[in-house]
Amino acid sequence: MTRAAKEGQPETVTDGEIIGRICDGETRLFDELVRRYQDRVYGMTGRFVGHGADAEDLAQEAFLKAFRGLEGFKGHARFSTWLYRITFNLCMDWLRRNRKPGRRTASIDAAAEVADGTVDLGKCLLAAEERNEVRKAVDRLPERYRTVVILLYYQELSYDQIGSVLDIPIKTVETRLYRARQMLRKTLRDPG
Amino acid sequence: MMRCSTVDSLLDKYVDGRLEADTVKEMATHIVSCDACSRSLAQAVGLASALASAPDGAAPAGFRARVMSEVHHLAMEGYPSRAGVADREAQRGRFYRRLGLSFMLSAALLAVSLVIPPASYPTILATGAVAADLSAAGTPKVRAALTGADRLVRGTLAKPGGLSSGSDGGVAR
């Protein structure tokens, strides 16, 4: 099932319409925006800081920050992109404050708890153990490369959106992804 | 025949579906006869699929309700409605108007104090003698300005609460 279907999309009322009505005083409609994006926002915070109380706090703060700043949302980008950017910045702030030197706090492994079923590789199948290896490899990537991998594969953002969230050109997104994949392949070829 | 290094550089584009059909065909021709590239392709496909297949964690139960509870509090503070912003702007406007009035009154009082000896203030307020005194002072322009200031001061003093009701800045107290 796609994420859109899972979240009940296509939505009959657009994000922009909802935001307009919220700004006109119907603040309870923010609930609908939370419903639409809570899994993605929580998913992102979980990827970066590890699933748990910190991820939930950050996700909540992201929504509240968005709500407080809704009046200033100009609609130049999609609401989702704007929200992801807020979320991403909060995650980076959190990592700067909490991460000890040389230690990666984000635990891709934790996501394994929610991984279920076998992975369809087309012609190939990867065993669960191998999937865990992939997650560990992602977790070990330098932050700038890990970020684009998470945003592309886990958050399913487009190259455009990744560029907007990270405030970098698409060409840089492509370059980082290329290098990230190279590193991942190398790590998976030569583990240890 | 395509070289191994070329195949390697094209793997990601292949996985992302961004290669032309002819290139894919050429690549496939190489891969079926090259074990190393075949393994690389399997790894690239496997990597992309493994990355894409991991589902996100769903937000915890009650998350939405907790967010909305906080949102409710923020809404009580006036976020983010236009009305709230308009109120804040109106408050700022009122403050600056009052500040401006305070400065005008201060200037008027200063001007009056330069012309009228302090000993005569009680008499002035009681009898309205200032205008007559002012009419004899300085050039016509100065007299007109002083008379206007005098009226302003009197008008302000005559209002309920006098000076204290119109001064946020405390200048005229």
| Banded model confidence at residue A166, pLDDT cuts 50, 70, 90 | very high
The minimum CA-CA distance between B54 and chain A, rounded to whole Å, is 6
Q: Are residues B62 and B95 in the same domain?
A: yes
For B82, the closest of A40, A71, A149 (CB atoms) is A71
CB contact under 8 A, B57 and A114: yes
B50 to chain A: closest CA residue:
A131
For A120, the closest of B49, B57, B60 (CB atoms) is B49
Is the pLDDT at B171 greater than 50, yes or no?
no
Last residue of a domain, one of B115, B136, B151: B115
> Domain residues for B104?
58-115
Residues of B with CB under 8 A from a CB of A: 12, 40, 42-60, 63-64, 66-68, 70-72, 74-75, 79-83, 85
| Banded model confidence at residue B19, pLDDT cuts 50, 70, 90 | confident
- C-alpha closest to that of A34 among B158, B24, B66: B66
Q: Has residue B111 been placed in a domain?
A: yes
Q: Has residue B123 been placed in a domain?
A: yes
Q: What pLDDT is attached to residue A188?
A: 75
Q: Are residues B151 and B106 in the same domain?
A: no
- C-alpha closest to that of A7 among B62, B58, B54, B65: B58
Placement of tokens 């998976």 in the chain: A188
Contact A189/A131 with Cβ under 8 angstroms? Answer: no
CA angle B66/A19/A85 to nearest 5° reads 70
Percent above pLDDT 90 for chain B:
10
Q: Are residues B67 and B48 in the same domain?
A: no
Question: What would the mean pLDDT of B70-90 be, rounded to a whole number?
Answer: 75
Q: Has residue B13 been placed in a domain?
A: yes
Q: What is the pLDDT of residues A84-123, one digit of tens each?
A: 989 999 998 998 888 654 444 333 333 233 233 333 333 3
Q: Are residues B66 and B106 in the same domain?
A: yes
Contact A13/A32 with Cβ under 8 angstroms? Answer: yes
CB contact under 8 A, B43 and A188: yes
**Set of chain A residues whose Cβ sits within 8 Å of the Cβ of B59:** 38-39, 41-42, 56, 59
- Partner B contacted by A186 (CB < 8 A): no
Contact B66/B136 with Cβ under 8 angstroms? Answer: no
Q: What pLDDT is attached to residue A176?
A: 93
Count of pairs with CB atoms under 8 A, one residue in A, one in B: 144
Q: Are residues B63 and B110 in the same domain?
A: yes
The minimum CA-CA distance between B158 and chain A, rounded to whole Å, is 42
Structure tokens at B60: 């915890």
Q: Which residue has the higher pLDDT, A10 or A24?
A: A24
Instruction: Please state, in angstroms and rounded to a whole number, the distance separating the CA atoms of residues B72 and B85.
Output: 17
Contact B63/A42 with Cβ under 8 angstroms? Answer: yes
Q: Are residues B65 and B111 in the same domain?
A: yes
Q: Are residues B48 and B62 in the same domain?
A: no
Q: What is the pLDDT of residues B151-168, one digit of tens each?
A: 776 776 666 655 544 444
ipTM: 0.72
Last residue of a domain, one of B53, B71, B90: B53
Decide: helix, strand or coil at residue B80: coil
| Banded model confidence at residue B35, pLDDT cuts 50, 70, 90 | confident
CB contact under 8 A, B54 and A131: yes
Is the pLDDT at B54 greater than 60, yes or no?
no
Is the pLDDT at B129 greater than 60, yes or no?
no
Question: What would the mean pLDDT of A16-42 be, rounded to a whole number?
Answer: 93
Q: Are residues B136 and B157 in the same domain?
A: yes
Q: Are residues B11 and B25 in the same domain?
A: yes
Q: What pLDDT is attached to residue B108?
A: 83
For A188, the closest of B47, B79, B85 (CB atoms) is B47
The minimum CA-CA distance between B169 and chain A, rounded to whole Å, is 30
**Set of chain A residues whose Cβ sits within 8 Å of the Cβ of B44:** 181, 185
Supply the mean pLDDT for chain B: 73
Sign of the alpha-carbon dihedral angle for A24, A27, A31, A36: positive
Q: Has residue B160 been placed in a domain?
A: yes
Across A1-10, A29-38, A72-81, B49-58, least confident range:
A1-10
B82 to chain A: closest CA residue:
A23
Contact A33/A79 with Cβ under 8 angstroms? Answer: yes
CB contact under 8 A, B43 and A51: no
Q: Has residue B69 been placed in a domain?
A: yes
Is the pLDDT at A189 greater than 60, yes or no?
yes
Q: What pLDDT is attached to residue B109?
A: 81
Q: Which residues contact A98 (CB under 8 A, 6 or more apart)?
A: A49, A54, A105
CB contact under 8 A, A115 and B53: yes
Q: Which residue has the higher pLDDT, A10 or B74?
A: B74
Instruction: Please state, in angstroms and rounded to a whole number, the distance separating the CA atoms of residues A7 and A13.
Output: 14
Q: What pLDDT is attached to residue A90?
A: 93
Interface test with A, best of B51, B64, B87 (most A CBs within 10 A): B51
Q: Has residue B171 been placed in a domain?
A: no
Q: Has residue B173 been placed in a domain?
A: no
- Partner B contacted by A187 (CB < 8 A): no
| Counted domains in chain B | 3
Q: Has residue B128 been placed in a domain?
A: yes
The pair phi, psi for residue A124, each rounded to 5°, is -110, 160
Q: Are residues B34 and B77 in the same domain?
A: no
| Banded model confidence at residue B106, pLDDT cuts 50, 70, 90 | confident
Interface test with A, best of B16, B53, B69 (most A CBs within 10 A): B53
Is the pLDDT at B15 greater than 80, yes or no?
no
Interface test with A, best of B74, B79, B89 (most A CBs within 10 A): B79
